[in-house]
Structure 1
């Protein structure tokens, strides 16, 4: 299972690096393509994260690294054509006038309470969810 996860992660990095975010010259791209030797791939991946100025100290295949790389991908794709994505609107049920009172106990929680924030942080750590400055995003 771990080998499969590692292979999929390597494929994600290779696809991202080659097709979308070309950070290296062609002659410098080979190290990340050599996925059979995990130790040399890990060194190349760590160097790649350093070259991208990844702010996290974790240089392994982890949720933090994956989240950061995917976030970078989204930022770069959005940056290519921000007008395309600004046209999207969020539809919520709160605009409807006929909203029934909620029977969901979660609706009565105060998500800005300090104890709630601490609980969210603790739960995220246990579940290995990457940190984020907005506790509500971590909860999502």
Structure 2
């Protein structure tokens, strides 16, 4: 119950501390006041420091009142836990830069671990395979013998096409750019001005379709290169190595 807070406070024996042991309990309270809380002035700590005294319980009762604890001296575990929490808050306030740097380092390490979260999945689990297959069917992702690779494809699709940013971008109305037909030479003459204009429009639409097709081809090439570049992929066999 107290070990984590005692460890955080650098208490000398967090694992061996016994709240039910009278000497351990009193020593811990005095240590918290002397080292972390420091509510009393040094000369005011005499009664609390007199651990063997029969008057110590009364001094402890007064101490709880002075620090504003919501628990009585009879509620020892709760009172001690509250004092530990108070000490932790004071410790953080005295070393805010130190703990902030530690939190940032921990967050960075956790971020690195999250980046590799797929590595720890059991790709042979029936539940895993069923879940990935269901996702692939919903998103119309091509089936593959390697379910982990399929899951990566699902993740890429969701990130690039179904993220809030991608959806917002797709929903934006695209304003057309006026195209002067007289600037585009048809290359032949039908003998009818209206037919010539219609042929120019069809040709421009065809060019736009070719551009979109080329974009999809480029995306496919990039996707294939990414798979081939994966060190787990044996492209000679057309399979992903395990």
Shorter-normalised TM range:
0.5 to 0.7
Give distance in 2, aligned partners of 1:4 and 1:50.
22
Give distance in 1, aligned partners of 2:76 and 2:86.
15
Higher relative contact order (CA 8 A, sep 6+): 1
Q: Does residue 55 in structure 1 map to residue 76 in structure 2?
A: no
Give distance in 1, aligned partners of 2:95 and 2:42.
26
TM-score by length of 1: 0.59
Gaps of 5+ in 2: 1-17, 126-242
50, 66, 91: which one aligns with 1:34: 50
Moved over 6 A (4+): none
Give distance in 2, aligned partners of 1:32 and 1:23.
12
CA RMSD of aligned residues (A): 2.7
82, 87, 95: which one aligns with 1:68: 82
Give distance in 1, aligned partners of 2:94 and 2:22.
30
68, 84, 92: which one aligns with 2:98: 84
Higher Cα Rg: structure 1 or 2? 2
Q: Does residue 22 in structure 1 map to residue 43 in structure 2?
A: no
* Number of residue equivalences: 99
Which residue matches 1:43? Answer: 58
TM-score by length of 2: 0.36
Which residue matches 1:13? Answer: 29
Which residue matches 2:120? Answer: 99
Give distance in 2, aligned partners of 1:36 and 1:85.
36
Contact 2:64/2:73, CA 8 A, preserved across alignment: yes
